[in-house]
């Protein structure tokens, strides 16, 4: 067991409920296929961090069989549920601290092109800071880490708005927590995000993001698989 753990916050893909903002650029079935590719590449990204353990916080709790089929052997699957992502984050982080981890970092499941060094940097920041946040391009965050549980950090936040990051930083200030920020990154939520992602893939080493490359080779016929 390592002292650091990354928890990927993930939902089981469902047609009509997954990545709906990508419509009509993608059909509902294509949106599901894209999310599965993003999720699998995120899992692969974290699995390469041999100094940290990998957990997938799964929603709904009954989706264990699906996640067992895509997770590396030894991955801890942590069922979580709540009325919003804040409740799920609070549950996941509290549970992982109760297992004995000293640094707990939660990561979204749909931004696997984030540079690995950002994840390394986030964990290192926790040597000095109480919490670390990875700002998203939409006013939220793609990563949150801490050295002890702080469920209050996730309460009364306007989730899925541009106010998430500033509200979280203000909450940290009120709690007397020392924050640190990694560089900004993005999730693949909209057609514009997908276009940026396609361009980025061309520039990245071909061994990275294999599942997303396969998706684009299938659904974007002008995009090479390798």
φ/ψ (deg, to 5) at 30: -65, -40
CATH 3.90.550.10 fits 4-187, yes or no: yes
Any bridge partners for residue 45, and if so which?
none
Assess whether pLDDT exceeds 70 at residue 3.
yes
What's the chain's length in residues?
A: 226
φ/ψ (deg, to 5) at 136: -90, 165
Confidence of residue 52 (pLDDT cuts 50, 70, 90): very high
pTM: 0.94
Tens-digit pLDDT profile for residues 88-140: 999 999 999 999 999 999 999 999 999 999 999 999 999 999 999 999 999 99
Assess whether pLDDT exceeds 50 at residue 221.
no
Over the chain, what is the mean pLDDT? Answer: 94
Contact 19, 34 (CB under 8 A): yes
Q: Which pLDDT does position 224 carry in this prediction?
A: 42
Confidence of residue 220 (pLDDT cuts 50, 70, 90): low
Token pair recorded at residue 222:
């002008």
Q: Which pLDDT does position 222 carry in this prediction?
A: 43
Using alpha carbons, select from 119, 84, 91, 125 the residue that is nearest to residue 5.
119
Q: Which pLDDT does position 173 carry in this prediction?
A: 96
Q: Which pLDDT does position 223 carry in this prediction?
A: 39
DSSP letter at 136 equals B
Token pair recorded at residue 187:
């999730």
Q: Which pLDDT does position 219 carry in this prediction?
A: 80
Assess whether pLDDT exceeds 60 at residue 5.
yes
Domain extents for the chain?
Answer: 4-187
Burial class (CB in 10 A: 0-12, 13-18, 19+), 92: buried
Contact 149, 93 (CB under 8 A): yes
């Amino acid at each position: 067991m390592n002292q650091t753990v990354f928890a990927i916050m993930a939902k089981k893909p469902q047609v009509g409920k997954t990545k709906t903002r990508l419509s009509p650029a993608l059909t509902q079935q294509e949106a599901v296929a894209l999310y599965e590719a993003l999720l699998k590449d995120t899992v692969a990204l974290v699995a390469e961090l041999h100094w940290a353990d990998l957990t997938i916080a799964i929603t709904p709790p009954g989706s264990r069989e699906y996640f067992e089929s895509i997770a590396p052997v030894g991955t801890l699957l942590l069922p979580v549920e709540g009325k919003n992502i804040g409740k799920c984050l609070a549950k996941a982080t509290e549970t992982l601290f109760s297992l004995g981890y000293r640094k707990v970092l939660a990561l979204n499941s749909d931004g696997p092109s984030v540079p690995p060094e950002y994840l390394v940097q986030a964990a290192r920041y926790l040597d000095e800071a109480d919490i670390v946040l990875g700002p998203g391009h939409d006013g939220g965050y793609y990563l949150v880490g801490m050295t002890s549980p702080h469920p209050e950090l996730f309460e009364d936040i306007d989730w899925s708005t541009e106010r998430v990051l500033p509200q979280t930083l203000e909450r940290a200030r009120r709690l007397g927590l020392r924050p640190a920020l990694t560089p900004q990154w993005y999730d693949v939520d909209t057609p514009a995000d997908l276009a940026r992602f396609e361009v980025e893939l061309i520039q990245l080493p071909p061994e990275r993001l294999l599942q997303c490359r396969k998706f684009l080779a299938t659904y974007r016929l002008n995009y090479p698989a390798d």
